[in-house]
Structure 1
């Protein structure tokens, strides 16, 4: 279902052939060529129930994923940076019958395939594995359709848009939104190969996707940032966008970026809207069909649960962790009285219990980033004999500054109990492919 209807946006009956339906790192396919090449892949894998794709930032990956979906297989995107052990685990755990590695995008086919049932598996995406071995998340054609249609409605995404991004093609952000969302909406996709500011500036898009690291780098190149003033919408996700980056992006481009929230298991469930206000540090409201609740009282921070049609149907080899349709995200959030949601962080690393207070790491990080000498900041709780946990900051600075000065700076901007008790000045923060800080690695030898 999702396979035919996603690709039909640019290639369906009666639609004009788009010469630039998809472009990756300067290589382009028309919508007619995209369909023909994808059907050639479908011919190759037809009959397989699970197909793995080496998800590199290439035109071959786009064609391979669409071809697998058209054939009715469940597609497993294998991270381009996966080590041998992770790759072996994904292939073995998913039961992939075939791995697409050498896709020829010049091949063409005119075959036809039956439309998969809504509840047939479409994608098996693996979690980051921060709390154990990566788990395979099974999304169906119905959950993918619900997910991409909900964000298209929230962002007024139409065939008149031109999407630009340079994100990895094995995550929700880059693949589900950035490839399937574009083909579903019928809008051309320009993948820049790498998310470099100068490539974003030259792409001439109306809709741009980026993670906070990308937007921070865009802001560091004002000329590239100002080139984005002609866009319609800038979207940030995959990690919290620091308030100073939000404000700097607004100053340079005139755009207040849309922030949104989602997970591998849930796709996008909360977002600010194209036709509404955007509030720095907040991810907006539930998208169409979604309900949320926060396990807290009187506007305090607590664990976020979500319910909606885009949630996973199951994990590989085990049922989904759903209770009456609700999924506990493991993320800490605050829901304001007017309905705005703010994601504080992960319950395991970003909720700090210090001296009887519940402190969100993200709030302290934003305060640190407001200091002119601070380039990057990550905050965690570390064991403390008296307080239970001490607010501990790891900070990358651009000029010489003392740790005491940074702690005092936070205390002047937030409640004094939120100031860092310990400040480590480091050369870099450990990040994954999506730019998320890997807080489990903080404190290791690399610092």
Structure 2
């Protein structure tokens, strides 16, 4: 297998990482990460206290150079969940910046600082283009690169073991889909403890030989500043793009900056159609969406040279096989834009196992196909439209299978709706009735349930109208901006 980061191995002097007033070229990163890799080489696993900082990025790269599996830890993780993650993964070391006060269970481990104050601290004054520590030989493609823990919505979080093969193959498939080159400069402000922020947002630019500018904390001013000063791509989640859409009318500098971007990518949840349209109207640029999960990395994307169709996540990436199956497990062959099925995937992008959970690993596969639990339809040209999760977003009402996502998009087109979520709840007559949870645009003048039902009925089939409407001040969301529907049902 070729090096995971060819530009580091080659000692490229191009910019690599930029966090606030701290920056490293690929050559400098090879130096500091190489020195750190030498210190941790041979450890069975390392935990990384994943703050949105340069130190976190250096720590992860160092571990990957050393061939040591990385366990990224969300600093906001609660005590019970953190105890489970540390006990389950059993890291030998924890990598963190000096200023961080670690929780007791991590403070018990041997600690290695990841601060980068001056490259000459590591090189001893030598030229940063000549790393003093040569990286070790590239490990086997099947060796674990990262162990990323799931959100644990249905039980204790599971450790997803991602091999080096999956990381390399998936980032290379995105190179093809997004026409991603070393000339690209990525802007993002996502957390660094999950696939989107860490693997796509940090490791992606490093593998391409390009660079990333991390904002530390999202702001529309930061996005405008970076895109106006040479950045070419923006990665974000729907909450970020919603804030951008809200700000565009009064911020011509932001609109101009987005207009000049080569690629705007949204992921981790569906971007509402009305935000797509507002951004396109103000900038002439379309946001593209992709679909992935911790166990599979990215499965599909709208291509940079394809049609950026709102409400879809594009087509399968190179090397990814995708099918829809019905409730019996039979493959759905019709691309009719209407038949709902569960997404199953297979390919080089898949994880190898759930750590210490052979039972869960076996249950996750169907003859080599990974059961995603996501429900979708496929358009005649193969584009995939996600309609929700099998457990929370597939509503069976009056004999119909209904995806919550399409109803949510229509509700969000109503001028009186700021946010919307749709769930199902038991109904003696229908089996399940459709419930709309609405954050109104004006709290003192919410649209009526009858008005919303009529609005949905005018756009979709009548059986997809909400039967019950409940009003909230805000929807419960996790760190990635995903709506926590189990909290609504609870």
Assess same fold via TM > 0.5. yes
1:143-171 C-alpha deviation (Å, 9 max, x unpaired): 11011111111000001110111011111
2:122 aligns to what SS in structure 1? coil
- Cα gap change, 1:16/1:119 in structure 2, threshold over 3 Å: closer, same or farther? closer
Look up the match of 2:13: 17
Look up the match of 2:73: 78
Look up the match of 1:267: 297
2:4 aligns to what SS in structure 1? helix
1:316-364 C-alpha deviation (Å, 9 max, x unpaired): 0134333332101000010122211101110001000011111110011
Residue 152 in 1 paired to residue 191 in 2? Answer: no
Q: Report 1:2-401 matches (<5 A).
A: 4-6=3-5, 8-9=6-7, 11-13=8-10, 16-18=12-14, 20-102=15-97, 103-106=114-117, 107-108=121-122, 110-112=132-134, 113-204=136-227, 205-222=231-248, 223=251, 224-296=254-326, 297=332, 298=334, 299=336, 300-319=339-358, 320=361, 321-399=364-442, 400-401=445-446
CA distance in 1 between counterparts of 2:418 and 2:268 reads 19
Look up the match of 1:422: 468
1:232-279 C-alpha deviation (Å, 9 max, x unpaired): 010011001111111111112211111110010000011110011111
Contact 1:49–1:72 (Cα < 8 Å) also in 2: no
2:64 aligns to what SS in structure 1? helix
CA distance in 1 between counterparts of 2:489 and 2:340 reads 26
Structure 1: tracts of 5 or more residues without a match: none
Task: Give the structure with higher Rg (CA).
Answer: 2
Deviation at 1:31, TM superposition (A): 2.1
CA distance in 2 between counterparts of 1:355 and 1:303 reads 20
CA distance in 2 between counterparts of 1:426 and 1:175 reads 33
1:305 aligns to what SS in structure 2? strand
CA distance in 2 between counterparts of 1:294 and 1:266 reads 16
1:106-140 C-alpha deviation (Å, 9 max, x unpaired): 34262222221111111000011111110000011
2:148 aligns to what SS in structure 1? strand
CA RMSD of aligned residues (A): 1.5
1:5 aligns to what SS in structure 2? coil
CA distance in 2 between counterparts of 1:70 and 1:12 reads 10
Deviation at 1:433, TM superposition (A): 0.9
1:87-106 C-alpha deviation (Å, 9 max, x unpaired): 11111111211111232213
The range that moved more, 37-46 or 147-156, is: 37-46
Q: How many residues align?
A: 439
Structure 2: tracts of 5 or more residues without a match: 98-113, 124-131, 327-331
Dislocated runs of 4+, deviation >3 Å: 296-299
